[in-house]
A and B are shown apart, each in its own frame.
Chain A
């Protein structure tokens, strides 16, 4: 039975080359678009590479200063909003480090540092992260030599630095360089560890240098009044929960801490605006929006995906109707010789599904090609935009790390959905057509 159907599908594909081409390419393009969205989503939110705890990592990235009593939702939020910026390191030190709910809490400042390359005798600008000892609990970096700086090192302003393999090779020609001196921002540091390169698409962990933030606070200075200087600054905070579900508990504890900060007499209050965020939420958080806008943006993306799915399905549906008109006689003959409505519908579904599957496979290949083509652009998230990229980091991103069994299943599911949407109505309509009418359609 299947063999006969497949033989017929092959014949129809060969007979209606233009139709088949449009149909298959249409499917392939929509699959490609959806795959690229899935890939972007996956790169930014899944547990991959050294960022293998993203599912229980939470982000506190913005400090919102508002008039007292401002609700963090809806349009009224804008009336009360005075300013928003990254977080001040003093706020984190004083109010967030004491948090007990998270497993780890890390202050992070992304910056560009100037490193003196003695071999080339030039200063080179490099991506750096000023952070603390808990940073190394957040990510699974692999040390090639030495180890991370400790809490004691951070508290004692020890000028220690962890560098990546590329930097070690560029500066010293080897990776076994623990205790080697290195000039960063015209100060001498000592290498305490060398890690494998971190790909730039892992934007939360990515840098070439990681140094204790206490050695770089002079660069954190910010103008404005004293209240704001403590609250706002260049930092952000990563919080690692024990469980994915710890987000709300952490938020509650943070809110409790904030109450200590917001004295009733102050004219400006600080609000978390529903932080900390999950990795996905942090992607959709813009600088000065109320938190419910995050969900509006997510809904917009979801609608775009659905439209990407439905629009081609509607076009394909039109193509199917055109082809059904040509095949009315066949449907009549099949029904005359015993095919039921369900037999006809099943056949039409199968025929279109096979074509969609071909389109799906081509779509996968296209998205693979397109992915290689736009890889660099695609992988620079707004969080690292402007920083230098680790070329090796980009190179190690392999399409087939992302295209795994579950992705293939998604593609089949999407093909099935496209098929369902595009075939259902024409198939139902034509399968129920009167036999005499169908036979007379020539």
Chain B
């Protein structure tokens, strides 16, 4: 790519800045609202204050909700790691032809929107032997299916990059059995890719609303459901809530990006 400054150079910079502005606007508006003493029917807020944030972070319901969101997301990711890592290993090492099938299967969470799955989930697990609706367990299970495509793809790419077969062969020639080779040789090499996939999946799960609202609702409030339930209270409070949530996710994505850069 020619990096010479051309007369078209200003055009591209302008477009990029415009893109940035468009994406920034709603965020900036919310930030301003969260810092405003009051702001209604006027162009700018009347004053600035931190009181909404203080109110937010000292609100016990918010803290409980934040904790519950964290628990569910971390739980889902733990489940994902425990289920997906062996799956990936077995598929790529023993049954490489299954990879094609897996690539179709992981299209399912994309082709089937959460609303649709919720219809079935509510009927199947609403009552009876496998009643899970209203508990965090059903959320953990559903979040696992959401994280699946991200994690499968990211770790598959990682496995292909490190050339799994050659690594395993080399380890086994040096005397390791399959378990040892997998745990001592392959797993450490997946660490970075795994971390990045986990962090990005976490950000996505933390912002999930559909399953949380339809399957569990207020019985085990997650952050997004809480946000929606608070819609009738002060807009400033809600804005502080949104910004806090966003800042949290920002930190996570920033860490993921840094890890990603370390890789190269």
Do the two chains bind?
Answer: no
The chain A residues found within 8 Å of chain B, CB to CB, are none
* Chain B residues with a Cβ under 8 A of chain A: none
